[in-house]
Structure 1
Amino acid sequence: MNMATIETAFGLVLTNVQLLETHLVTHFYDALIEQNVGYLGRAELDAVRGNNEKLRALSLTKSDWQKVYQFALIKGAKDMQLQPNHQLTPDAIGYIINFMIETLHPKTALSILELGSGTGNLAETLLTGLLDKEIDYTGFELDDLMIDLSASIADVMGTNAKFLQIDAVRPQVIEPVDFLISDLPVGYYPDDAVASRSKVASATEHTYAHHLLMAQGFKYLKDGGYAVFIAPSDLLSSAQSDLLKKWLLDYARVAAVVTLPADIVTENNQKAIFILQKASQTKAPFVFPLTSLTNPEIVQNFMAQFRKNML
């Protein structure tokens, strides 16, 4: 990976996006979608076509493109002031999830379902990071813009990611998967009639959407399979947690809880990675406070402890 090449590519993409924003009188992410379409076809503006020719001449790898898009998505999130549930999952967390998947699923082929795939950044981090695995990835996302954005990025990168416009709380007919992942969108689910069908439904108020996604997503998981959820660290002690814990006793084993550093989240909302297994409760979960994602000694100690306790 050549950072100078990546910086050059990002500059060309950013210039085109800004040209398209002005030309189309639109916002950053919509212009990025148009840039992706123009890169794969023929852009309308001469300047955009010229920059795309320079981009093609760089011969970017999938990993290069993943970095370019990460920078572009971060820039777009700042420009558009996106709500927290639409913010991209940081690459540092994606790399930790890569490690978890590699440790827990040594087989070469695996299927992954992501609930609330958003910009697709986590998907592409997995697909460009798990190089020794044949991955069948599907992302469920309800938002029109996010679906168009993530699909257009996958087209340019040439990954096999599939993104479907689906309300993941509602039942779907799909083949069971090896891994379920989600950077859970936090908040209340508005449709009480749909929520009432779930084991985690509240009888007194709107039900938490992240609880509903966990319970519904587990139905798509193979027996013995793992779910990796990024959620508020107080998931098991917050409001409606009694309903969630009752569901856990019946359907899932809490295999691990890894709290994440406070400096990688916003709005004073500390998060953790919860690993659940579709299996009966057999042993105490592995609990680890991961205080840094940039200190090699801390990360290596975490990895060693994770392998020791999870295998």
Structure 2
Amino acid sequence: MIASPVEQLFTLFNETALRLQEELQCTFLEALAETGENLFQGSILQEELSEITKKGLKKQYETIKLEQYTNEDIRKAFQLAILKGMKETAQPNHQMTPDSVGMLTAYLVGKFVKAPSFRLLDPAVGTGNLLLTVLNHSEKQADAIGVDIDDLLIKLAYVNANLQEQPVRLFNQDSIEPLFIDPVDAVVGDLPVGYYPNDFRAADFDIRADEGHTYAHHLFIEQSIRYTKPGGYLFFIIPNGLFESEQAGKLHNFMKEHLIVQGLLQLPSSMFKNKNAAKSIFVVQKKGEGVKPPNQALLVDLPSLSNKFEMDKILIKIEKWFKENKG
């Protein structure tokens, strides 16, 4: 049986990363970033490797010609290798946006953002999986920016974008600190849920908690709005309980003042291990001159995303909503 393109690439990423992991005495994810960089640069950059390892790696890299693979093949294979590495380290904040959610977000970005070229920000870019899914499925020219505080994740995002030849500018910093970027037309983000530890920085935000730590996902929303042009769209993957917490009042008032709700697409609960972890895609638009709210917001309870028949019915409903509200 011939291996699929994704399997071929995954095997290469996995086997070469394991060799580097052993010799460099590092984690699998660190080794994966190194092997991805080697593949992109077309040379072996780790000088400390033994000659035998260098020769072995060179031979393996030569079996793959990246230009023969699609961006999506590369992204999926790299994503599988990252998921394998994450299982080993098991850090709860290293969660990857599922493919189906990325595709749905890409579809929504394509429907809402009308300009032929646009600036796109992911303030919680992680390994770049969500941002690159959106870029790979966009027919428009996108100038993309990603921000993440985790230096290993941002390195994986950098290698991931390079291998797919997607021009993404990446910033390794706390996303809640000031960002040195021009305003964007759209934001995508799978919001990290939890408390933000820096109360001094949080004090600079309207939605800061009156006492104790502020929710990070609330701050990400306000920060994203600051860097979005009037009329720009924001596509957030949010916890379903976003407006039920003790800090929800301030967030609600802030959003009412600055945003128009365009839609809420509740993801199927079968995607999540427990109901409390369930999420939705929340689509909002920054208020601005001439920006009108829809006649009614797009509210969708998504079926299992693998159920083609039910998903087709939902997509017809969404298309109808666009004709009536955005036509």
Match of 1:32 in 2: 32
Match of 2:231 in 1: 224
CA contact (8 A) 2:263 2:283 kept: yes
Structure 1: 5+ residue stretches without partners:
none
- The alignment of Structure 1 onto Structure 2 pairs a total of residues equal to 308
Partner secondary structure for residue 236 of structure 1 = helix
User: After superposition, what is the alpha-carbon deviation per residue over 1:3-56, rounded to whole angstroms, capped at 9, x for unaligned?
Assistant: 622212211211111111111111111000110122224224222111111122
Match of 2:90 in 1: 81
- Is 1:55 the counterpart of 2:67? The answer is no
User: After superposition, what is the alpha-carbon deviation per residue over 1:163-190, rounded to whole angstroms, capped at 9, x for unaligned?
Assistant: 1112221222422111111100001111
Match of 1:273 in 2: 281
Match of 2:123 in 1: 115
CA contact (8 A) 1:168 1:217 kept: no
Match of 1:291 in 2: 303
Match of 1:4 in 2: 4
User: What letter is aligned with 2:247?
Assistant: Q
* CA displacement at 1:200 relative to structure 2: 0.5
Q: 1:94 and 1:249, CA in 2 relative to 1: closer, same or farther beyond 3 A?
A: same
Which range moved further: 158-167 or 52-61? 52-61
CA contact (8 A) 2:117 2:140 kept: yes
Q: 1:3 and 1:240, CA in 2 relative to 1: closer, same or farther beyond 3 A?
A: farther
Match of 2:258 among 251, 271, 285: 251
Tell me, in whole angstroms, the C-alpha distance in 1 between the residues paired with 2:16 and 2:274: 32
1:1-311 correspondence to structure 2 within 5 Å: 4-39=4-39, 40-43=41-44, 44=49, 45=53, 46-56=55-65, 59-83=68-92, 85-130=93-138, 132-268=139-275, 269-279=277-287, 282=293, 283-310=295-322, 311=326
User: After superposition, what is the alpha-carbon deviation per residue over 1:31-82, rounded to whole angstroms, capped at 9, x for unaligned?
Assistant: 0011012222422422211111112278223222112112212212222212
Tell me, in whole angstroms, the C-alpha distance in 1 between the residues paired with 2:183 and 2:67: 40
Q: Identity of paired residues, percent?
A: 30
Tell me, in whole angstroms, the C-alpha distance in 2 between the residues paired with 1:184 and 1:144: 18
TM-score normalised to the size of structure 1?
Answer: 0.93
Root-mean-square deviation over aligned CA pairs? 1.8
Tell me, in whole angstroms, the C-alpha distance in 2 between the residues paired with 1:166 and 1:183: 17
* CA displacement at 1:281 relative to structure 2: 7.5
Which range moved further: 187-196 or 275-284? 275-284
TM-score normalised to the size of structure 2?
Answer: 0.89
Tell me, in whole angstroms, the C-alpha distance in 1 between the residues paired with 2:232 and 2:160: 29
CA contact (8 A) 1:188 1:209 kept: yes
Partner secondary structure for residue 214 of structure 2 = coil
User: What letter is aligned with 2:79?
Assistant: Q
Structure 2: 5+ residue stretches without partners:
none
Tell me, in whole angstroms, the C-alpha distance in 2 between the residues paired with 1:124 and 1:175: 20
Tell me, in whole angstroms, the C-alpha distance in 1 between the residues paired with 2:269 and 2:147: 28
CA contact (8 A) 1:252 1:281 kept: no
CA contact (8 A) 2:113 2:233 kept: no
Tell me, in whole angstroms, the C-alpha distance in 2 between the residues paired with 1:58 and 1:4: 16
